[in-house]
């Protein structure tokens, strides 16, 4: 196999503040994990977007097949009773 001259791709996840999830914000190239964190800091948090960074090699992510969309996701659309919308959320509960 020909050795790639390009650096591996990394997916970047940022936690914007304490108590929230890390969210996927984009991807970047870096030669290794340390550099990926540094690059993510410079590319994705320069406007105070976060307090924690995760990076994951993109090739470690297994994705669903877009052609399976119908059988995977379509059936959920008609099942309104799965949504917890039949009770009142108390005041002061955010991030639900």
Partner 1 sequence: MTTKEALYNYTLRMGDDSLILGQRLSELCGHGPILEEDIALTNISLDLIGQATLLLDYAGELDKDSRNKDQLAFLRIEKQYVNILLVEQPNGHFGDTILRQFLFDAYRTALLERLSTSKDKRLAGIAEKSLKETKYHLKHSSEWVIRLGDGTEESHLRIQNSLDKLFRYAHELFYENEVDNLLIKEGIVPSAQGIYPVWEKTVNDVLEAATLSLPKNNWKFQGGREGRHSEHMGYLLADMQYMQRTYPNMEW
Q: CB nearer to partner 1: give 20 or 43.
A: 43
Helix count and strand count (H, E) for the chain: 2, 3
Q: Residue 55 is encoded by which pair of tokens?
A: 């990076």
In 10 A of CB 43, how many CB atoms? 13
Beta bridge partners of 9: 29
Q: CB nearer to partner 1: give 42 or 69.
A: 42
Smallest distance from partner 1 to CB 17, Å: 19
Smallest distance from partner 1 to CB 44, Å: 10
Q: CB nearer to partner 1: give 47 or 79.
A: 47
Smallest distance from partner 1 to CB 24, Å: 17
Task: Let me know: does 27 contact 40? Beta carbons within 8 Å.
Answer: no
């Amino acid at each position: 196999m020909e050795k790639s001259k390009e650096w591996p791709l990394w997916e970047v996840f940022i936690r914007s503040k304490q108590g929230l999830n890390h969210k996927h914000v984009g991807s970047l190239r870096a030669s290794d994990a340390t550099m990926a964190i540094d690059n993510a800091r410079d590319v994705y948090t320069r406007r105070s977007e976060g307090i924690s960074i995760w990076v994951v090699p993109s090739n470690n992510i297994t994705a669903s097949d877009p052609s399976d969309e119908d059988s995977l996701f379509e059936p959920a659309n008609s099942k309104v009773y799965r949504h917890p919308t039949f009770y009142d959320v108390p005041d002061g509960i955010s991030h639900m």
